[in-house]
Amino acid sequence: MGRSASAILALVPFAEFSPAEVGSSAGGFRLVGTAQGLLRVTVWGYWPPDVVRSFAVDAPTALQKLAPGGSVVLDAAELKPQGAEGQEALRMMFRGLVPLALAKAQVLSGNALTRMQLARLLRECGVDGRVEIGDSSNATLGA
């Protein structure tokens, strides 16, 4: 499914690149960077162990490549509530937000249970005050 996420991440800062996609229709993620400094992380389904491992490495690495003033959207419209391993992978991404000087960070979810899980994980990582969380049907950033 496209080039590997690790091979593409060096291009993130303000360079547009082809999506890096990991997983299948049952569960996975896609990382897309734009020339305008937006990192869009799209996640879906329930993650098997191989997707969890890739996300735990690739998403935080992509965040580290963002230049100050960049923006991040985690589009979880199709994400199902995750088990312990998937939650820890999401925490790793959220912890990666702590040192960043972002213009905007947003988490979007279409499922109320998933949104509650993501809100709890953001709170646990101490970034809930810096990240907007909302319904994917009301998305405004990076549309």
Q: How many CB atoms lie within 10 A of CB 32?
A: 21
> Across the 143 residues of the chain, what is the mean pLDDT of every consecutive 10-residue run?
46 51 92 89 97 96 90 96 98 95 94 96 95 80 47
Angle at 72 between CA 60 and CA 15, to 5 degrees: 85
Is 102 part of any domain? yes
**What pLDDT is attached to residue 136?**
81
Long-range contacts of 14-19 (CB under 8 A, 24+ apart): 14/67, 14/70
What is the pLDDT at residue 5? 52
In a domain, residue 76? The reply is yes
Task: Confirm whether 82 is domain-assigned.
Answer: yes
Does some domain include residue 111? yes
Residues of the domain holding 53: 5-137
The structural domain count of the chain equals 1
CATH of the domain at 94: 3.30.750.24
Q: 103 lies in a domain? A: yes
- Tell me the pTM: 0.83
State the pLDDT at residue 13.
46
